[in-house]
Amino acid sequence: MIDYLVLGIALGLLLASLFISFFCLELFLMYRKGNTLVLNLLQTREPSRLIFGTIILVNPTLAGLGVFCAFVFAFFDKLRPGAGLASPNLLYSLSLGSIVFICTIIGVIVFPSFKRLFLVTGAITILCFGWLLPILAQ
């Protein structure tokens, strides 16, 4: 079980670093376009405080999410093994994919300014936790 723990933390931190990179890029692109939300946000806060706050919040959260996904995969793998869609466990990959898809759509509707960030993060989450985690766990 310790291998699932380590794998979940590693993939969660990988996802966190990719999210932070795309978050910073998205903020920069929105600032360059003159988005009023980002301009108002950066007038009231320093950019470094915003980025460091995001890093402090996102790293442990996504590491915890990675551990949770790893143990859910272990549960599904013992409960109902079965490969499909280039994943060792089809049920886990489809379940995670549908949850991430729904969360991405809700995020795009609620925060339309960050549409590109939600779409990229959703795709990376499905790739990291939906396919890479089951493959590396085997």
Q: From 57, 59, 53, 55, select the one nearest 41 (Cα to Cα).
A: 53
The predicted pLDDT at position 88 comes to 81
The predicted pLDDT at position 86 comes to 67
Q: From 70, 60, 67, 52, select the one nearest 16 (Cα to Cα).
A: 60
Find out whether 90 and 82 touch, Cβ atoms under 8 Å: yes
The predicted pLDDT at position 85 comes to 65
The predicted pLDDT at position 135 comes to 85
pLDDT, averaged per 10 consecutive residues of the chain (138 residues), comes to 90 94 91 87 84 93 94 86 74 90 95 91 91 85
The predicted pLDDT at position 94 comes to 87
76 sits in which H/E element:
helix 47-79
Distances (CA, A) of 133 to 49, 51, 108: 32, 27, 26
Q: Which residues pair with 89 in a beta bridge?
A: 82
